[in-house]
Amino acid sequence: MLHAVILSPFSCPVRHEQFEAVRAALAAEPNAPATLLLGNWPLAEKEVVDAVVLRPHLITLLLLEPRGGQLTIRDFAHAAWQLDGTPLTSAGGADNPFQQFVQQKAALARVLAPFLAPGQANLNFISGLLLFGEPVGFGPEVEARLNAEPAANNFQLLADPSRFTRRLAQLATPHIELTPADLKYLAAELAAATPSTAAANRPAPEPPIEADAHHPFWQQKAAQLWRWLGAEDVAELDDAPYGFAETSLAARNQEKQELEQLRATMQQELSAQLRAMEAREAEREKSIAYLREQLAAAPAVAPEAAVLQARLAAENREKDALETAIQTSRAESEERNRALDAKIQQLEQLMRRLETHPAAGAASAAAPSPAATAPDQPRRPLSFRQLRAWQRRLPRLAALGTGVLAMVMVGSGIKSLTAGPPTRFGQGSTWGLLAANGDTLVPARYQAIGEFQDGRAVVEQNGSFGFVDEKGQQVLPPTYDALNPYHDQYARVRIGNTYTFIDEDGQEFSQYYYNARDFAEGHAAVLDYRGWFYITGPEAPPQAPKLFREAYSFHKGLARVRLADGYTFITKDYLRNPEADTKPFGRYARATDFSAGKAQVTQNGRTFYIDADGDEVE
């Protein structure tokens, strides 16, 4: 089923014809999944997207270029491209289609986010396709420029328009999970949310392409290569590089405003609850006074006197319970307000530090770090690192006060160790731990408690994650936005939108990454601005590591990776030896990790299984 919507009129008739050709190709595709096609979408005042295709496992931006010819690229990311000797520029101030894709991807993610539930779609995996209206030939340098830019993992160039639907199917990803009902909902909501004045705010009609030689062509060129080389994982960080520029400051300011609004809403709700409780208390006072009058008027020996006395006692007990509830609600409100105030103050301090220590100065401040020898490597600002260290030390200092008590409990701890790990128990929406003898080891105060692995379990408290040991002690206070169990002596953590690792002493690595996978067999795949590569520990990565478009964990000596020409499998020798190749494995259009000694691959349109020697098996 295809549902197509043009959200605003096309100003360029040629692009409108190209959009209709896309619509016809999608409608004619056999056995196609549910598809939503949006055309000429005004995402912002000066940002109009030619087309967007949404499918159950796909969100793809289409950049429509009516021309064809010979494409040459001198600088993929920072200059205009040449199509038959004419600059191939883009709208919105971009020097080339790749830069245009980066800008539109960030804008599209911001627009779609309010309509999608958490976990429904990872908008970092929005892909892009530069679709030429006529056949295109690539110069000999295009592939080299493409392979040299790891960030263009999900941006592709389509030289033959007839292969559009086939290329679209290759861009599907499991990180996007939309149902046909979701697509129908998005079609209705996005059409309704598009401003009626979009046509008036639309950019002026584009000049003829032949007369566009003086347009800023170099930006358009860089944008197209960026998406081709596949940096879908870092799209949200493109506008705000690792140094926390103005966009990061704006995000912190928005978070602060949301917290202040939350505090005001909570205060209003509490006030309403307290007024309701006070009203009930006033009614109860009237009832108590009436019962006392009846009791005073009744004869002492009358049978009604005992009933009235029982009712009066019950009313007094309920009154006491109501007063206790009011006091408890007020105390809880004050505690929540103090927590929100502390969070707001932390954000204000971070914003002041970001204003006084801009990203440009952060690199020089971090000069003593071993990783700072690469001048083009983005660095986390020093002020942010200091804030993280300060934030993590506060709970640890508070935990020092329990040291004496912990020493007293050594004897009972030895007994519990011999009885196995504690078991979880739930109380309402919180969780605690029970010792082997059934005693409460940790009261129900965590939102979640994971399984114990190597004597530790991940716990969640107030949206932050840490570790507890089998004695119920916090060995790592909940301070991280996400936390995985230890693998090969290191645990993966998330701090905001960046990832790093901690060792068994809780010390963070000095490097931070856009994405990362758990350690396995002494290696972990990580992603920074250059692409995916492997690290072996807390040491700074080499300045020129082996780069991949995708990289996955090692299993029995083999790891699945994606190179410029497809998927393959590598050994650890491939990382150490610059002359090593991927034999006996070839290149595959699709591949899975090895399981039970076999991996499923697709090559030349045929899907089959191979073993660890690269041989085809049943």
The per-residue pLDDT for 10 is 85
pTM of the model as a whole: 0.39
Percentage of the chain exceeding pLDDT 70: 74
The per-residue pLDDT for 53 is 95
pLDDT in tens, 404-419: 344 444 444 444 444 5
Q: Is a pLDDT exceeding 70 seen at residue 218?
A: no
Percentage of the chain exceeding pLDDT 90: 29
3-class DSSP state for residue 311?
Answer: helix
In this structure, are residues 84 and 28 in contact, taking their beta carbons and an 8 Å threshold? no
424 within some domain = no
Non-local CB neighbours of 593 within 8 Å, separated by 6+ positions: 552, 553, 555, 560, 599
3-class DSSP state for residue 366?
Answer: coil
Query: For residues 161 and 206, what is the distance between their CA atoms, to the nearest angstrom?
Result: 22
- Same structural domain, 285 and 213: no
The overall average pLDDT reported for the chain is 77
- Same structural domain, 211 and 277: no
pLDDT in tens, 230-274: 444 444 333 433 333 444 456 666 666 777 777 777 777 777 777
Q: Is a pLDDT exceeding 50 seen at residue 465?
A: yes
- Per the structure, how many domains does the chain have? 3
The per-residue pLDDT for 518 is 97
pLDDT confidence tier of residue 486, bands split at 50, 70 and 90: very high
Domain boundary among 179, 213, 238: 238
Q: Is a pLDDT exceeding 50 seen at residue 380?
A: no
The per-residue pLDDT for 222 is 46
283 within some domain = yes
- Same structural domain, 28 and 144: yes
- What's the one-letter identity of residue 146? L
Query: For residues 578 and 515, what is the distance between their CA atoms, to the nearest angstrom?
Result: 25
The per-residue pLDDT for 280 is 75
- Same structural domain, 187 and 276: no
pLDDT in tens, 555-565: 999 999 999 99
The per-residue pLDDT for 148 is 64
pLDDT confidence tier of residue 392, bands split at 50, 70 and 90: low
The residue-averaged pLDDT of 146-167 equals 74
- Same structural domain, 231 and 292: no
Domain boundary among 213, 238, 263: 238
The first and second tokens of residue 388, run together, are 């993280």
Reference 142, options 36, 225, 49, 201; nearest CA is 225
Reference 78, options 214, 222, 206, 192; nearest CA is 222
pLDDT confidence tier of residue 316, bands split at 50, 70 and 90: confident
Q: Is a pLDDT exceeding 90 seen at residue 494?
A: yes
The per-residue pLDDT for 67 is 85
pLDDT in tens, 423-461: 999 988 999 999 888 889 999 999 999 999 999 999 999
- Same structural domain, 29 and 143: yes
Paired residues of 47 in beta bridges: 44
Of the chain, the end-to-end C-alpha distance in Å amounts to 36
Q: Which domain CATH number covers 558? A: 2.40.10
pLDDT in tens, 15-73: 898 899 899 989 988 888 999 999 988 887 677 899 999 999 999 999 898 888 888 88
The residue-averaged pLDDT of 190-213 equals 51
The per-residue pLDDT for 150 is 58
- Same structural domain, 142 and 256: no
Domain with 282, as residue range(s), is 246-357
The residue-averaged pLDDT of 614-618 equals 92
Angle at 480 between CA 479 and CA 481, to 5 degrees: 130
In this structure, are residues 501 and 495 in contact, taking their beta carbons and an 8 Å threshold? no
Query: For residues 379 and 371, what is the distance between their CA atoms, to the nearest angstrom?
Result: 9
Domain boundary among 238, 262, 287: 238
- Same structural domain, 217 and 345: no
- Same structural domain, 27 and 167: yes
pLDDT in tens, 102-156: 888 888 988 998 888 877 888 888 998 888 888 888 888 777 777 666 567 778 8
315 within some domain = yes
- Same structural domain, 225 and 254: no
Count of residues for the chain? Answer: 618
pLDDT in tens, 497-550: 899 999 999 999 989 999 999 999 999 999 998 899 999 999 988 888 899 999
Query: For residues 156 and 67, what is the distance between their CA atoms, to the nearest angstrom?
Result: 17
482 within some domain = no
The per-residue pLDDT for 582 is 85
